[in-house]
Structure formats: C-alpha cells, structure tokens
Amino acid sequence: MKILTVEEHILSSNEEQAKKNNDRLNEHGILAINMMSSPGAGKTSLILRTISGLKTKFRIAVIEGDIASTLDADKVNQHGIPVIQINTASSCHLDAHIVGKALDNLPLNDLDLLIVENVGNLVCPAEFSLGEHKKVILLSTPEGHDKPYKYPLMFTKADAVLINKVDLLPHIDFDMSAFLQGVSALNSDADLIQISCKTGDGLDKWFSWLEAKIAK
C-alpha cells in the first residue's frame, strides 16, 4: 500500500486530470499555453496584444484565472473571442480539475490556440500542471533581476521566459545580464524574449515563438 501525504495526493490527482486535459487538447489539435507571473507583470496586456497580433491567423480562446473580479475577462471579451472566467476565491493557483471544467465550456472544434492566464503568483502555479503544452513565465523589469534566485521553481519549469516592460529600463535598476544569467543557471533550455506590451517592442519574436509551436 502506498500512503500519500495530503500534498502528494493533491498533486497526484492533479497530474491525472492534467493528462486527460492534454489528451483532449491533442485530439482537437489545440496548443495550450499556461501563462504565469507575479500580479501586475502584464499577463493580460500580453494576451490582448497576442489576440490583436494573431487572431486573423489562428482561432484563439482564453481562460482567465483570478481570485476575484471579471476585469481581465471583460477586456478579452471585447475582442469577440471565447473567454472563460475562473474565480478561485482563496486559492492562489489554477489546477487541472477546474481547467477541465472550463474546457467543457469552450468550442474545442474551432480552436488552434488556448491561452490560460493563471492567478498572479510566482510560487504555487508552478506546482500544478493544467494539461498545457508550454509554460510561459512573464517577469516585468520593475520586479527586479533577483527573482530567479528567490523563486527558482517557476523559472526551472519554464519553456519560455518573457521579460516585459523593457521600456522602463532607463528609469529603474534592473541588471539584465544578471537576470539572464540567473534564469540560464536554473534552466538552460528556456527561450528568453525581451518585450514591451506598451511599445510593442519584441512582440514579433513572441508571435514567431508561438507560431512555431502551433505549427508542430
């Protein structure tokens, strides 16, 4: 008999459901992205930019994870694409079960790309797979270049790390080479892309990254 701790049991049950979600997405040929960051790093801005940049090429849907409010989902909804709002109340991360329920309510036959915006948190979302194909971490420059050292798991698991708000670099103390070195020490496979959702700088590289993954 294998005895699981509460934490192991939760994670094991989550992994089973994540596998089901992944199978379902694959059956429909949908690429799913799990987008994670601190509060206010710019996840919603990036999603809105991505919809504007790619909605003529791909059929996109969004799942919005928030503790409370529908502010982000309302913004996405204005683009006329399918969006599901999940309010987690006191839970600080999404899990595979709640994402599975969201999938029940999306038109899976008519999608190429699903972007899941996780709850703003650099800790627990990294532990819970949702069934996604790629984990994308967003770090905004005002948060500081020490974040890989202080929140290592998140950066270890990333397929891509986007450094947002590079337009603020002249006004803050952010050592880009220390940051890039910190990420590479944890995870030499992650792609690193510098962007500004405000000015649009670097978004072409992000769109190319996504397009290459969708094409696979």
Are the C-beta atoms of residues 37 and 43 closer than 8 Å to each other? yes
Contacting range for a copy of itself; rule: CB under 8 A; set: 23-31, 36-44, 102-110, 204-212: 36-44
Contacts of 37 (CB under 8 A, 6+ apart): 43, 120, 122, 137, 138, 139, 140
Q: Which is nearer to a copy of itself, 82 or 148 (CB)?
A: 148
CB 156 → a copy of itself: shortest distance, Å? 11
Angle of helix 203-215 versus helix 43-54 axis, rounded to 10: 70
- Give the nearest distance from C-beta 209 to a copy of itself in angstroms: 24
How near is the Cβ of 187 to a copy of itself at its closest, in Å?
A: 14
**Do the bridges between strand 83-87 and strand 113-117 make them parallel or antiparallel, or are there none, so unpaired?**
unpaired
In angstroms, the CA 67 to CA 149 distance is 26
Segment lying near a copy of itself (by CB under 8 A), choices 78-86, 108-116, 121-129, 130-138: 121-129
Sites of contact with a copy of itself (CB under 8 A): 6, 38-40, 66-69, 71-72, 90, 92, 119-124, 127, 140, 142-144, 146-147, 149-153, 165, 167-168, 171-173, 198
